[in-house]
Amino acid sequence: MTTALRPRTLEVFLGERSYPIHLGAGTLAAAGDAIARHTKATHAVVVSAPAIGRRYGATLVRSLRQAGLRTTRIDVPDGDAAKSLRQASRLYERLLASQADRSSVVVALGGGAVGDLAGFAAATYLRGVSFVQVPTTVLAMVDASIGGKVAVNLPQGKNLVGAFHQPRLVWIDIATLRSLPLRDRAAGLAEVVKAAAIRDAGFFGQLERDAERLLALEPAALLPALERACAIKAEVVSRDEREEGLRMLLNFGHTLAHAVEALTGYRRVLHGEAVSMGMAFAARRSEQLGCAPAGTAARLTALLERLGLPIELPRRPRSAYLAALKVDKKRRDARIHYIVLRGIGRAEAVPLTPAEIVPAASGRPRS
């Protein structure tokens, strides 16, 4: 095996709740051993959406059994349909029926939605049982599975009921991405670009070199890129678990992304696509506000476009965007901590009103 493909491990440092993120290519069958070692559990409950369970569930369950654990498999609905109190409640009932107790571990196998639901159930069932993430989307690998935020949605909005519940282990096998549609790959890569844009210019250059290879899931390009993106999220989470200063930078592109998602009713636009639009917008605003040197936005949007990501906000009246920004839950008083770039690789939060974020100039938030 070449060095580029060797499995690697990062650590999220959170005192006694520290945990490793393991990345590899073709390592799913080795997950059971690691899960047994890191949780000391005797019973594993693998939670997944049916299509993912069919593809990868058997390999994971077999490795858990070989590691000596009793196993239970639970199917939940696909995507955000999983993230409801009703589904959480059904999950509790099935956990009870499987006699899950404090010696059980809940293993989320799937995208961020399944991870959020399974993690929420793990955080609350019996006041908390151990939890492991086996993410199978790019977005879940570099973002949702790291940091311990777990939640379900309410009809009124996303992630309104949740908890902080850190996993004991994050097990990433990039071979599981082979079945992920191109559009979802690109959307996840938007968060990888975000990590580079706010924190690491050298990494950004690496993404510029490798964009097409990343989309094609070439392990020699993808593994180091996901590792660096995970490391950035892990570093931010380690230094700032509960979202005060530093963690705010991860919101780069997200203020407008949340507005786009609200305005489009969370349909048609994937989260990563909304983030791409929000980042392109924020980079242009960063230049207009005199925060970033000219050319910053052009470099960012060029990379996003090579990844097949959208860089223009949906055409809606400015008033619609202003209204959507006013319900952004990151709002503090009348100002929002808006994340601007200082240049490629450096970001900061600037308190701005919605009207300053989306200026009247064009009548629409397009620049």
We find the least distance from the C-beta atom of residue 167 to ligand NAD, in angstroms, to be 11
Contact region with ligand NAD (CB under 6 A), list: 23-31, 36-44, 131-139, 212-220: 131-139
What are the residues whose beta carbons fall under 8 Å from the beta carbon of 235, sequence distance 6 or more? none
We find the least distance from the C-beta atom of residue 90 to ligand NAD, in angstroms, to be 18
The one among 6, 40, 42, 51 contacting ligand NAD by CB under 6 A: 51
The one among 185, 254, 271, 285 contacting ligand NAD by CB under 6 A: 271
Distance CA 311, CA 181 (A): 20
We find the least distance from the C-beta atom of residue 128 to ligand NAD, in angstroms, to be 16
Contact call for residue 139 and ligand NAD (CB under 6 A): yes
Edge to edge, what strands does the sheet with 43-48 contain? 8-12, 19-24, 169-173, 130-135, 104-110, 43-48, 70-75
Nearest C-alpha neighbor of 28 from the set 60, 5, 73 = 60
**Running DSSP on this structure, what letter comes out for residue 125?**
G
Contact region with ligand NAD (CB under 6 A), list: 13-21, 79-87, 307-315, 329-337: 79-87
Q: Look at residue 328 and give its three-state secondary structure.
A: coil
Determine contact, residues 154/160, Cβ cutoff 8 Å.
yes
Contact region with ligand NAD (CB under 6 A), list: 113-121, 260-268, 281-289, 348-356: 113-121
DSSP H or E segment with residue 335: strand 335-343
Q: Which residues are catalytic?
A: 127, 149, 191, 233, 243, 247, 251, 254, 258, 271
We find the least distance from the C-beta atom of residue 132 to ligand NAD, in angstroms, to be 15
Residue by residue, DSSP assigns 201-247 as HHHHHHHHHHHHHHHTT-HHHHHHHHHHHHHHHHHHHHH-TTSSTGG
List contacts with ligand NAD (CB under 6 A): 49, 51-52, 78-80, 83, 110-114, 116, 136-137, 139-140, 143-144, 147, 149, 158-159, 176-177, 179-180, 184, 271
